[in-house]
């Protein structure tokens, strides 16, 4: 008899495929319309949400490695969508905030993000989408102690 292990029933695999599919669906927006990468989009979204934060804050909030954040911040700064300001009392850290153009780009992306989210909710069924987030919560907590 053949093996009974089926890749398509394996949750790590299925979750990754779904994540890539869904992520790709939205990435065309920030890529093609604004030439942004996913890390840049995440930093933009985090910073808009936190209003004012350090790179470390953003890394925690957006689940990204600090080097990814560092590179994304650099790019956003280059586009003048983001401003750095050294902390006066602890000069190791810098406070980040969006510029007016940065806020504007974010606002436009949020329109698309919200529309895309609505499409996803429609596909899932509005009632079940909360269940999905609940499940994802549980899964993300799996290795919480390793971090």
Cα 15 from Cα 40, distance rounded (Å): 23
Return the residues of window 27-46 that contact DNA according to CB under 7 A. 37-39
Q: Which of 86, 93, 104, 124 touches a second copy by CB under 8 A? A: 124
Cα 130 from Cα 65, distance rounded (Å): 27
Q: Which of 56, 104, 108, 140 touches a second copy by CB under 8 A? A: 140
Instruction: Tell me, residue by residue from 75 to 114, as one string, x for binding to DNA by CB under 7 A and - for no binding.
Output: --------------xxxxxx--------------------
16: contact with a second copy by CB under 8 A: yes
SS3 state at 96: strand
> Count of CB atoms within 10 A of residue 21's CB?
9
Q: Which of DNA, a second copy, none interacts with 74 (beta carbon under 5 to 8 A by kind)?
A: DNA
Q: Which is nearer to a second copy, 86 or 115 (CB)?
A: 115
Cα 38 from Cα 19, distance rounded (Å): 13
Q: Which is nearer to a second copy, 51 or 89 (CB)?
A: 51
Q: How far is the CB of 29 from DNA (least distance, A)?
A: 15
* Whether the Cβ atoms of residue 46 and residue 82 lie closer than 8 Å to each other: no
Q: Which of 78, 91, 92, 143 touches a second copy by CB under 8 A? A: 143
Name every residue whose Cβ is closer than 8 Å to that of residue 95 and which is 6 or more positions away in sequence: 52, 53, 54, 84, 85, 86, 87
Cα 53 from Cα 56, distance rounded (Å): 8
| Contact footprint for DNA (CB under 7 A) | 37-39, 54-57, 64-71, 73-74, 89-94
């Amino acid at each position: 008899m053949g093996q009974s292990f089926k890749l398509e029933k394996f949750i790590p695999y299925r979750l990754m495929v779904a994540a890539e599919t869904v992520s790709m669906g939205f990435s065309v927006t920030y890529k093609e319309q604004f030439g942004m990468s996913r890390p840049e989009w995440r930093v933009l979204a985090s910073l808009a949400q936190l209003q004012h934060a350090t790179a470390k804050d953003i890394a925690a909030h957006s689940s990204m490695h600090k080097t990814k954040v560092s590179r994304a911040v650099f790019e956003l700064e280059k586009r003048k969508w983001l401003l750095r300001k050294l902390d006066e009392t602890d000069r190791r850290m810098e406070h980040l905030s969006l510029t007016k153009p940065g806020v504007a780009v974010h606002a436009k992306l949020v329109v698309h993000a919200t529309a895309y989210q609505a499409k996803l909710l429609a596909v899932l069924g509005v009632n079940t989408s909360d269940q999905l987030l609940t499940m994802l919560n549980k899964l993300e907590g799996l290795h919480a102690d390793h971090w």
